[in-house]
């Protein structure tokens, strides 16, 4: 019955509204799972014992707000073990100079705020879930980068092309929408951008191959597989069980480096 309702809603509702409702539902489901698995309780204990400042990883020193941390898988965030597979490429990207950083699917702001702290670039955070946008704005203020983090709700193809001005770093985790977002027209406009995209596979076709084919002429591609056994020795044994997020065994990201290193182009205007 739920599948039928979801299919009907997808057909009848505008895509943007449907996606927003789905993101709210998904976050509520995730929170219930955190409670059932003991992650919410463990995160509360962690916050009481270690505080709210990130202790490791690329964004060490970033401050979380308690209400935001408790709504997420906070143990990996505080110990800096969240998406450990990407630490190397994040540091590699941070060694470069970017005019702008775009975070599509920014959630509470882990990357958006962290990257604003580590660089002098303007960061544009896009997130459909309204509560997550509020968390992101608050965390930007908490870390004194609110003037360089602009939070918006929706990133369409047109918005992406209009915002990706000059040399940009684009992070994308948009739950499968990457197939529509990185259309040939959009890819053609991203020749000066480096990208880190979380891939969401479909039964009917390979997103891995689609992205590879789309960016073949303009970018060098490096695929990174999730590793559920990756651990940090800095995490106390007490917290080790919840220090890594649960992911599909076939989860992948792709790091796309632009072959062109052209300088920034004139500003073309920003989303409101």
Query: Tens digits of per-residue pLDDT, 171-223?
Result: 999 877 888 899 999 999 999 999 999 998 664 457 778 888 899 999 999 99
* Least confident piece of the model among 15-19, 69-73, 153-157: 15-19
Instruction: Please give the Cα distance from 193 to 177 (Å, whole number).
Output: 19
Taking Cα atoms as reference points, which of 70, 27, 82, 15 lies closest to residue 247? 82
> Is the full-model pTM beyond 0.85?
yes
Confidence (pLDDT) at 269: 40
Domain assignment present for 210: yes
Domain assignment present for 59: no
Domain assignment present for 266: no
Average pLDDT, stretch 261-272?
43
Domain assignment present for 34: no
Instruction: Count the alpha carbons within 13 Å of 213 in the hemisphere toward its beta carbon.
Output: 9
Domain assignment present for 123: yes
Q: Are 24 and 129 in contact (CB under 8 A)?
A: yes
Other beta carbons within 10 Å of 161 = 17
Confidence (pLDDT) at 202: 61
CATH number of the domain where residue 99 is located: 3.40.50.150
Domain assignment present for 270: no
Domain assignment present for 32: no
Separation in Å, CA 132 to CA 11, 86, 135: 26, 22, 5
Count of the separate structural domains present in the chain: 1
| Burial label, 65 (beta-carbon count in 10 A; 0-12, 13-18, 19+) | middle
Confidence (pLDDT) at 13: 52
Handedness of CA 80, 26, 142, 195 (dihedral sign): positive
| Residues of the domain holding 87 | 83-258
Domain assignment present for 6: no
């Amino acid at each position: 019955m739920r599948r039928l309702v979801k299919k009907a809603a997808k057909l009848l509702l505008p895509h943007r509204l449907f996606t927003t409702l789905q993101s709210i539902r998904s976050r509520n489901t995730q929170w219930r799972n955190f409670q059932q698995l003991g992650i919410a309780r463990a995160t509360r204990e962690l916050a009481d014992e270690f505080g709210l400042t990130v202790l490791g990883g690329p964004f060490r020193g970033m401050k979380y707000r308690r209400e935001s941390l408790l709504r997420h898988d906070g143990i990996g965030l505080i110990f800096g073990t969240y998406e450990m597979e990407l630490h190397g490429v994040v540091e590699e990207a941070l060694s470069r100079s970017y005019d702008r950083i775009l975070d599509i699917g920014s959630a509470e702001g882990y990357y958006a705020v962290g990257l604003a702290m580590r660089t002098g670039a303007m960061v544009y955070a896009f997130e459909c879930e309204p509560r997550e946008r509020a968390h992101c704005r608050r965390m930007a203020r908490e870390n004194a980068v609110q003037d360089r983090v602009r939070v918006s709700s929706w990133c369409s193809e047109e918005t992406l092309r209009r915002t990706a001005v000059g040399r940009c770093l684009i992070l994308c985790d948009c739950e499968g929408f990457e197939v529509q977002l990185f259309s040939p027209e959009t890819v053609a406009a991203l020749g000066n951008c480096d990208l880190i995209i979380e891939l969401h596979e479909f039964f009917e076709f390979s997103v891995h191959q689609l992205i590879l084919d789309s960016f073949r002429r303009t970018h060098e591609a490096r695929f990174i597989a999730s590793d559920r056994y990756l651990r940090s020795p800095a995490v106390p044994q007490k917290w080790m069980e919840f220090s890594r997020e649960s992911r599909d065994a076939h989860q992948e990201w792709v790091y796309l480096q632009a072959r062109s290193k052209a300088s920034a182009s004139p500003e073309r205007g920003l989303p409101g």
